[in-house]
């Protein structure tokens, strides 16, 4: 990657890291209490509150990984931290999506869900990781850039 791209990446992932830290802190507070839902942000842990503290730890680590990758971002070890942080978001958010898919197919009383019920399963509020997911995908661009230079 060139210098401009590096600079951009640094600013971008510094912001994303800070947001992740904030989300992590929110989830930590949520897991200490009963969890909460705030607008379209859902930090209640869904059906299983025992997931919440673990999610908080993961998302806090994601924040730290992103932030620590910022210095000398183009360097491979630094970039790797940002990649790893993104992968961690993909795992957690991916499982949140999977959970909705699994819940959307069968119906309450019937074998399969109605179309409205199916679509309603995907409505907000979403957990913080889902909000981070689209933004974390930016790392793919940098990985592809890196692959180019590797060749």
Partner 1 sequence: MPLSVDERWDLIDRISKQTVEFGAYKHTLKDAIAELTVKPLTGLPVAIAVIYGFWSFFCDFAGTLFTDGFMVKLFDEHWLPWLQSVFPGGLGNPFYALMVDAGHIENGVLVASDNCFEAFGVLTSGLFVVFGVVLWAILAFYLMFALLEDIGYLPRLAVLVDTVLHKIGLHGYAIVPTFLALGCNIPGVTATRTLETRKQRFLMITLLSVFVPCGAQIGIMQDLVPEMMGWIFLTLAIGYLGFGFILNKIVPGKSPEIIMDVPPYRMPVMKNIVSKLWIRTSKFLLVAVPFVLLGCVIVGIMYLPQVGAMDWLATVLGPFLMSWFGVPGETVSPLIAGFLRKDLAVGMLGGLMEQGIMTTFQVFTSVVLLCIYFPCLATFALMIKEEKWKEFIGSIASLVVMVLVYGGLIHVVGIMLGVA
- For partner 1, give the closer residue by CB, 44 or 99: 99
Measured between alpha carbons, how far is 69 from 120 in angstroms, rounded to an integer?
Answer: 38
- Segment contacting partner 1 (CB under 8 A): 4-12, 14-22, 31-39, 87-95? 87-95
Distance CA 111, CA 114 (A): 10
Contact between 148 and partner 1 (CB under 8 A)?
no
Q: Tell which one of 65, 66, 73, 131 touches partner 1 (CB under 8 A).
A: 65
Query: Using CB under 8 A, which residues numbered 31 to 50 contact partner 1?
Result: 47-50
| Chosen residue from 15, 22, 25, 143 binding partner 1 by CB under 8 A | 143
Q: How far apart are CA 25 and CA 150, in angstroms?
A: 37
Paired with 106 in beta bridges are 112
Nearer to partner 1, 67 or 96 (CB): 96
- From 11, 29, 105, 137, residue interacting with partner 1 (rule: CB under 8 A): 105
Q: How far apart are CA 17 and CA 68, in angstroms?
A: 9
Binding span for partner 1 by CB under 8 A among 3-11, 12-20, 25-33, 88-96: 88-96
> 36 phi and psi, to 5 degrees?
-145, 160
> Which DSSP string do the residues of 72-95 spell out, in sequence order?
TTTSHHHHHHHHHHHHHHHHHHHH
Q: Terminus-to-terminus CA distance in the chain, angstroms?
A: 13
Q: Which stretch binds partner 1 (CB under 8 A): 5-13, 30-38, 78-86, 130-138?
A: 78-86
* Minimum CB distance to partner 1, residue 110 (Å): 9
C-beta closer to partner 1: residue 8 or 95: 95
């Amino acid at each position: 990657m060139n210098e401009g791209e590096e600079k951009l990446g640094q600013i971008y992932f510094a912001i994303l890291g800070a947001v992740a830290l904030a989300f992590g802190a929110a989830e930590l507070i949520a897991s200490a209490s009963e969890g909460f839902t705030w607008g379209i942000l859902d930090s209640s842990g869904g059906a299983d509150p025992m997931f919440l503290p673990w999610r908080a730890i993961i998302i806090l680590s994601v924040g730290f990984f992103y932030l620590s990758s910022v210095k000398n971002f183009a360097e491979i070890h630094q970039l790797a931290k940002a990649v790893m942080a993104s992968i961690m978001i993909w795992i957690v958010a991916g499982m949140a999506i999977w959970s909705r898919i699994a819940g959307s197919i069968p119906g309450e009383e019937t074998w399969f869900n109605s179309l409205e019920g199916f679509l309603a399963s995907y409505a907000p509020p979403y957990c913080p990781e889902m909000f981070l997911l689209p933004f974390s995908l930016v790392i793919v661009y940098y990985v592809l850039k890196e692959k180019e230079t590797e060749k």
